[in-house]
Chains A and B, each alone.
Chain A
């Protein structure tokens, strides 16, 4: 199975690569649409800020490929967020919202932590249904989070987490999936989720 990590120019691809290696894959890291198109699975990580990730997508001419692909894709953290319509996260000098890919009809909003501290950083629980991504993972298992913005709940939500308010911590729409947490840093449960992504679609 060929697994590719989409490289939008953000750091920290090595964690995802190592997590996949521990599962016995040797993932390709690429931003070449042709290379990516020949994959069986796509992993779409993102760190930093939404605008930076979108700039990376435009600069590397990845938008059309991502919008058109039928290959199962897993967005991680910001990689999940930019699947939505737009994000309240903008560069400091800008106001308004950052337009994102618009694959999933959800808005990404600043987390309303209701007095809780931001960023929402650390291990929190995910309430999930029976989506194959969570096969063999108990309900309310702990995953590692690190973010200040989150996607609102919607029909696409397959996992939800509460921090002040409830937000989408996992989503699925067709072959597009995404998790707000970092499965590559979430111990045995995270490894199981990645294995499920490789095995079940």
Chain B
């Protein structure tokens, strides 16, 4: 049976791992390779590195650390942030990343998704979606340039429409970053996950809001997510990955041992 994936997310800024609350007020969490190695050794199934400033600054992710990560870990990892072209993606994949995750540039030019899928295969192409629930209307809307609060904009896309669109264009996986929950540790937005799951035929990764082991269980058992992504609970040691995997296994979730 295909196992559900536990995915620590490392937000990278200026070559170190940082974490903020609701995408703001970042504090330094540690070195990229040290944290990557630690999580791989603890049983993480996959890692994601987001260069959270890249898209907003209009520059590419610094690629030197990608090769260093590939040297030290033996599990798959994705790189996100500022990948705007087939050439950008090629450089990152050639350095040993398994997937590239595209967010703002896919919104700028949706044809990029198809070009990447044609060149590298759909399974390399993850689309990250920053989704925000408008408290006034209850609508789920897609945000862009979330790496920089001053540049963040709400796009014309409703989340469910964008989920459908990116699949049509060749997305191999979708990471749903639920912004209202990010850093709050109150659990994933299960209602939203269920809505997206119903129309998402590719692997779906829940992101934003994990604070306790039960939250992972809810994402897997109640929303049939393929993976669950979290950052601060792992960085701060609130949840220890081996304990989490043991707990989920006891609850009947298929987990790699």
- Tell me, in angstroms, the Cα distance from A146 to B78 when the chains sit together: 13
The residues of B that contact A184 with a CB separation of less than 8 Å are 74
* Nearest A residue to B70, CB-CB: A18
The residues of A that contact B94 with a CB separation of less than 8 Å are 11-14
User: A15 with B256: in contact, given A117-B201, A118-B202 (CB under 8 Å)?
Assistant: no
Chain B: minimal CB distance from A169 (Å): 12
Q: Which residues, 1 to 60 on B, are CB-close (under 8 Å) to A?
A: 1-5, 40, 45-46
B202 touches A122 (CB 8 A): no
Identify which of B2, B67, B75 gathers the most chain A CB atoms within 10 Å of its CB. Answer: B2
Contact of A142 among B3, B67, B90, B118 (CB under 8 A): B3
The residues of A that contact B203 with a CB separation of less than 8 Å are 117, 119, 121-122
The residues of A that contact B71 with a CB separation of less than 8 Å are 18, 21
User: A123 with B2: in contact, given A15-B70, A185-B76 (CB under 8 Å)?
Assistant: yes
Q: Which residues, 118 to 133 on B, are CB-close (under 8 Å) to A?
A: 118-124
Indicate with 1 or 0, residue by residue over A177-197, a CB within 8 angstroms of chain B CB atoms.
Answer: 000001011111011000000
A144 touches B93 (CB 8 A): no
Determine whether A147 belongs to the interface, using a CB cutoff of 8 Å to chain B: yes
A12 touches B96 (CB 8 A): yes
Identify which of B5, B70, B172 gathers the most chain A CB atoms within 10 Å of its CB. Answer: B70
B121 touches A47 (CB 8 A): yes
Indicate with 1 or 0, residue by residue over B200-226, a CB within 8 angstroms of chain A CB atoms.
Answer: 011100000000000000000000001
A122 touches B74 (CB 8 A): no
Determine whether B192 belongs to the interface, using a CB cutoff of 8 Å to chain A: no
* Nearest B residue to A120, CB-CB: B2
Contact of B120 among A11, A18, A147 (CB under 8 A): A11
The residues of B that contact A163 with a CB separation of less than 8 Å are 2
Chain B: minimal CB distance from A86 (Å): 18
Determine whether A39 belongs to the interface, using a CB cutoff of 8 Å to chain B: no
The residues of A that contact B180 with a CB separation of less than 8 Å are none
Identify which of A19, A162, A184, A185 gathers the most chain B CB atoms within 10 Å of its CB. Answer: A185
B5 touches A122 (CB 8 A): yes
User: A22 with B172: in contact, given A119-B122, A124-B1, A142-B257 (CB under 8 Å)?
Assistant: no
The residues of B that contact A15 with a CB separation of less than 8 Å are 70, 96, 98
Q: Which residues, 81 to 102 on A, are CB-close (under 8 Å) to B?
A: 92
The residues of B that contact A116 with a CB separation of less than 8 Å are 2
The residues of A that contact B201 with a CB separation of less than 8 Å are 117-118
B45 touches A122 (CB 8 A): yes
Identify which of B5, B94, B98 gathers the most chain A CB atoms within 10 Å of its CB. Answer: B98
- Tell me, in angstroms, the Cα distance from A124 to B94 when the chains sit together: 25
* Nearest B residue to A78, CB-CB: B121
* Given contact pairs A122-B3, A190-B74, a sample of 5 additional A-B residue pairs in the complex whose CB atoms are under 8 Å apart: A18-B71, A48-B120, A121-B203, A184-B74, A185-B74
Q: List 14 A-B contacts (CB under 8 A).
A: A12-B98, A15-B98, A21-B71, A47-B121, A48-B119, A48-B120, A117-B202, A118-B201, A123-B45, A142-B256, A146-B98, A148-B123, A162-B1, A191-B74
A: residues with CB less than 8 A from B are: 11-15, 18-19, 21-22, 47-49, 92, 116-125, 142, 144, 146-148, 162-163, 182, 184-188, 190-191
Which 9 residue pairs across A and B have the least CB separation, nearest first?
A: A14-B96, A119-B123, A11-B93, A142-B256, A123-B256, A123-B3, A15-B96, A185-B76, A146-B123
B: residues with CB less than 8 A from A are: 1-5, 40, 45-46, 67, 70-71, 74-76, 90, 93-96, 98, 118-124, 172-173, 201-203, 226-227, 256-257
